[in-house]
Structure 1
Amino acid sequence: MTVEAVDEPFRTQLTVRLRRGGTLLGVELPGPCRFTGGNGVDLLWLGPDEYLVLAGPGRQAELEGALSREGALAVVDVSAQRNVFRLTGSHAADVLAHGCSIDLETAPPGTCVQTLLARTGIVLMVREDGFTILVRQSFWDYFRAWLADASLEYVS
Structure 2
Amino acid sequence: MADTATRRSPLAHVAGRFAAATRASGGALRLAELPFLAQVNVRLDPKGPAADAVGLALGLQLPLEPDSVVHAGDRYALWLGPDEWLVVGPPGTGAALENEIRQAAGDEPAAITDVSAQRTTLLVAGPRARDLLAHGCALDLHPRAFGPGRCAQTTLARAQVVLVARDELKAGFWVLVRSSFAEYLADWLLDAASEYV
> What is the TM-score normalised by the length of structure 2?
0.75
Once the two structures are overlaid, the 10-residue window that deviates more, 116-125 or 127-136, is 127-136
SS of the residue 1:64 aligns to:
helix
Which stretches of structure 1, 4 residues or more, deviate above 3 A after TM superposition? Answer: none
Q: How does 1:39-54 map to 2 (within 5 A)?
A: 39-54=73-88
Once the 2 structures are TM-superposed, how far is the Cα of residue 57 of structure 1 from its aligned partner?
1.7
| CA–CA separation in structure 2 for the residues paired with 1:113 and 1:47 | 10
Q: Does 1:123 find its partner at 2:157?
A: no
| CA–CA separation in structure 1 for the residues paired with 2:121 and 2:178 | 9
Q: Which runs of 5+ in 2 are unaligned?
A: 1-25
| CA–CA separation in structure 2 for the residues paired with 1:49 and 1:111 | 17
Q: Which has the larger radius of gyration?
A: 2
| CA–CA separation in structure 2 for the residues paired with 1:63 and 1:125 | 20
How many equivalent residue pairs? 155
> What is the TM-score normalised by the length of structure 1?
0.94
SS of the residue 1:109 aligns to:
coil
Structure with higher strand content: 1
1:58 is matched by which residue type in structure 2? G
* Alignment root-mean-square deviation, CA: 1.3
Match of 1:89 in 2: 126
Match of 2:4 in 1: none
Once the 2 structures are TM-superposed, how far is the Cα of residue 40 of structure 1 from its aligned partner?
2.4
| CA–CA separation in structure 1 for the residues paired with 2:72 and 2:195 | 36
| CA–CA separation in structure 1 for the residues paired with 2:152 and 2:72 | 19
Q: Which runs of 5+ in 1 are unaligned?
A: none
| CA–CA separation in structure 1 for the residues paired with 2:92 and 2:183 | 24
2:68 is matched by which residue type in structure 1? R
Match of 2:175 in 1: 133
Match of 2:20 in 1: none
